[in-house]
Amino acid sequence: MKILFLARHYTYFRNYESVIAILAARGHHIHLAAEREEDLGGRKMVERLAQQHQGVTFGWVPAREDAWGIFATRLRMTIDYLRYLDPAYADAPKLRARARERVPRAGLWLVAAAGTGSAVGRHLLRTILYACERAIPRSRQIDDYLREQRPDVVLFTPLIGLVASPQLDYLQSAKALGYPTALCVWSWDHLSSKAILRNVPDRVFVWNDTQRDEALSLHRVASEQVVVTGAQCFDQWFDRTPSMTREAFRGAVGLGGDGPFLLYVCSALFQGSPTEALFVQRWIQAVRASKLEPLASMPIVVRPHPARTKEWEGIDVTTNTDVVLWGRNPVDPEAKAGYFDSLAHCAAVVGLNTSAFLEGAIAGKPVFATLLPEHFENQEGTIHFHYLLKVGGGLLHTARSLEEQCRQINDVLLAGETSSRRSQRFVEAFIRPRGLDVAASPVFADSVEGLAASVRVPAKARSQNRVLQRVLEPVVSLAAHRVAEPLVLSEHERAIMGRQRAHRARVEAAWRVKDAHNEAEQQRKDARVTERERYKAERAAEWRRTKTMKKFTQRLRKRIGLTL
């Protein structure tokens, strides 16, 4: 069986390593295809997978570069924004703002003109825009790529998101050509904080009943199309043993000793949020000042988020006693082993809103979070964070102040629990809903094989779509023209272009300074050369005069009978 697995970039395959390995071991060919490069270690990961498994290959997918592709991107961003205007997102202002800044200016005008403050206005505009999206013709380049690959099944991740991606065009072509398709849910917030599924694949593979309900209620996916597999990306942490003792781990990270420690795991906060590095410093000071033992003197390991390491530049937490900043992106065996060691040997996990909470729960650790006003948008202002508070009775120990959290952590430390029952209940409900002993990866692989065995009839283009295509063609041509940039660019894109222009201006200014310096230096060199040449010419002239005078003197003496 040939499986074509499409992702935005290679790091997305990190959450499917175990599934890819199982499918390859069963004799299937899996081609991992990405849209663009990244610097998170994904390329090395897929290279390693290809070396380890004969049936695994990888490569790039062609982007859609025609005028319809540009129009499709702007249209879809506008449609996605409509989702966040629904009352369900009234308490999620950051999600709404994040979606809005990616809408083209013309899209914002259209939304305002449609009166989307009312349900009727949103429904009317959504109906019109959905019809326009369905009228977008398939890309011939993408069709040719899929025919060349000849897959038995096409998998997508993340498919829906916040950035422009040709994955929806690939889904459209795959369904039209009759290839079975599936969305592979990548993260715990995949279905609640991204775009809406409009062109639904044949299957949607979800982690648990919570995500199944999201697929049914938020995305209107038919129940028979949703498959609950469990969270395959976390299988690697079950039944795993530490690669070193606690004493050895503490020595490796620079702590020394052999006792327990606290693990603070940083989050991927919304852009523009308060810097978590500064909050961590404040949290450490509160722990040290609490005078609660054993908490106040317990060592602390701070793990920065792989995508936000720059915020730690210039911040030194090691000025505090027994505190280290440690950890990197767990995409290779060594980094994974270190990450698990930090979870296995810690006494408790602390943070704001991160998937590391889930991994801490698998390790059986108690998990703590403060709910401060400054972090509302990143916590209670998102839908998926509430799952940590409710599913399985709730995973998190929450506090409204640092002082309250210090008391909570200290009480748990004093109780000396070796395994958190609260964490276990959450794992049973959210990560392994088929049972703690039932790994998700084999279930996922079985579901892919079952999808490939299904029979699918290629979709036919509707005649009304062709009519609407003709109507939209002038708009599409205008959207692709440079003169329309003020209308089709989003606030996010204008901000990026502004930063790029500012960067170019700084570079050009630096080059002008450098060119002026080089020109001045060249002028000084030319002046020195000129001066040397003048000096050499004067010396040569003086030498010639001296030589001429000497010859004249010699001839004169000969004439008057004198000898030299």
Bridge-partner residues for 265, per DSSP? 303, 351
Residue 134 has pLDDT above 50, yes or no: yes
Helix (H) or strand (E) holding 81: helix 67-83
**Assigned domain for 538 exists:** no
Other CB atoms within a 10 A radius of the CB of residue 392 amount to: 21
* CATH label of the domain that carries residue 29: 3.40.50
pTM comes to 0.81
Residue 139 in domain = no
- Only one residue has tokens 């010419």, namely 537
- Report whether 45 contacts 18 (CB < 8 A): no
User: Does the pLDDT of residue 130 top 70, yes or no?
Assistant: yes
| Among the listed residues 100, 107, 127, 98, the one whose alpha carbon sits nearest the alpha carbon of residue 479 | 107
Tens-place pLDDT, residues 489-510: 887 777 777 888 888 888 888 8
Residue 105 has pLDDT above 70, yes or no: yes
| Same-domain status, 263 and 322 | yes
* CA 426 centroid distance within chain: 26
Instruction: Give the per-residue pLDDT at 482.
Output: 81
* β-pairing verdict for 153-157 and 2-7: parallel
Please report the pLDDT score of residue 456 as a whole number.
Answer: 67
Residues 401 and 446 in one domain: no
d(CA 205, CA 208): 9
The pLDDT assigned to 462 comes to 60
SS3 553: helix
What digits encode the pLDDT tens for the residues 148-199? 999 999 999 999 877 778 899 999 999 999 999 999 999 988 888 888 888 9
Amino acid 237: pLDDT: 95
The CA–CA distances, whole Å, from 208 to 15, 170, 187 equal 16, 27, 12
CA–CA dist 66, 64 (Å, integer) = 6
CB 152 within 8 A of CB 180: yes
Q: Are residues 172 and 250 in the same domain?
A: no
User: The tokens of 506 are what?
Assistant: 């700084």
pLDDT at 463: 57
Query: How many Å is the maximal CA-CA distance in the chain?
Result: 131
DSSP 151: -
How many domains would you assign to the chain? 3
Q: Is the pLDDT assigned to residue 343 strictly greater than 90?
A: yes
What is the Cα–Cα distance from 494 to 202, expressed in whole angstroms?
Answer: 37
Whole-number Å distance between alpha carbons of 479 and 488:
6
C-alpha 308/C-alpha 266 separation (Å) is 9
Domain that holds residue 101: 67-131+467-488
How far apart, in whole angstroms, are the C-alpha atoms of residue 382 and residue 389?
12
Look at residue 465 and tell me whether its pLDDT is greater than 90. no
pLDDT band at 564 (very low <50, low <70, confident <90, very high): very low
Helix and strand tally (H, E) in the chain? 20, 13
Q: How far is it, in rounded angstroms, from Cα 128 to Cα 182?
A: 26
Asked whether residue 192 falls in the same domain as residue 244, the answer is no
Residue with tokens 């011939």: 140
Nearest residue to 337 via CA among 195, 479, 237: 237
pLDDT in tens, 2-61: 999 999 999 999 999 999 999 999 999 999 999 988 887 889 999 999 999 999 999 999
Q: Return the closest-CA partner of residue 358 out of 217, 215, 207, 228.
A: 207
Report the alpha-carbon distance of residue 251 to residue 273 in Å, rounded: 34
Q: Is the pLDDT of residue 457 over 70?
A: no
Task: Compute the chain's Rg from CA coordinates.
Answer: 33
DSSP state of 274: P
Looking at residue 460, its pLDDT comes to 64
Angle of the 463-479 helix axis to the 119-134 helix axis, nearest 10: 90
Range 71-78 average pLDDT: 89
- Lowest-confidence range among 380-389, 452-461, 518-527? 452-461
Measured between alpha carbons, how far is 522 from 536 in angstroms, rounded to an integer? 20
Domain presence at residue 144? no
Instruction: Work out the average pLDDT over 384-398.
Output: 94
Token readout for 313 is: 């530049």
∠ CA 549-552-558, nearest 5°, is 140
- pLDDT at position 141 is 94
pLDDT in tens, 227-270: 999 999 999 999 899 999 999 999 999 998 888 999 999 998 88
Same domain, 296 and 368: yes
- 47, part of any domain: yes
Half-sphere exposure of 93 (CA within 13 A, CB side): 4
The Cα–Cα gap between 302 and 350 comes to 9
- DSSP at 237: G
Which tokens sit at 231? Answer: 């969270």
Token couple for 538:
């004067």
Q: Is residue 145 part of a domain?
A: no
For residues 373 and 447, state if they share a domain.
no
- What is the spatial distance between Cα 424 and Cα 103, in angstroms, rounded to a whole number? 42
Q: Rounded CA gap, 253 and 265, in Å?
A: 15
Whether residues 372 and 474 fall in one domain: no
In a domain, 404, yes or no: yes
Q: Are residues 295 and 407 in the same domain?
A: yes
User: In sequence order, what E strands does 315-415 have?
Assistant: 323-325, 348-351, 367-370, 396-399
Q: Which helix (H) or strand (E) holds 48?
A: helix 42-52
CATH of the domain at 391: 3.40.50.2000
Q: Are residues 319 and 363 in the same domain?
A: yes
Q: Are residues 48 and 33 in the same domain?
A: yes
Same domain, 119 and 214: no
* 503 falls within a domain: no
- Cα–Cα distance measured from residue 87 to residue 83, given in angstroms and rounded to the nearest whole number: 9
- 313 lies in the same domain as 424: yes
Task: Give the mean pLDDT of 302-322.
Answer: 86
Report d(CA 168, CA 183) in Å as an integer.
11
Helices (H), 227-379: 246-253, 276-289, 333-345, 356-362
Q: What is the pLDDT of residues 186-218, one digit of tens each?
A: 998 888 888 888 899 999 999 999 999 999 998
Query: What pLDDT, on the 0 to 100 scale, is given for residue 562?
Result: 56
* DSSP code string of 417-451: -SS-HHHHHHIIIII-TT-TTS-HHHHHHHHHHHH
Position 553 in a domain: no
Token code pair at residue 74: 């702007």
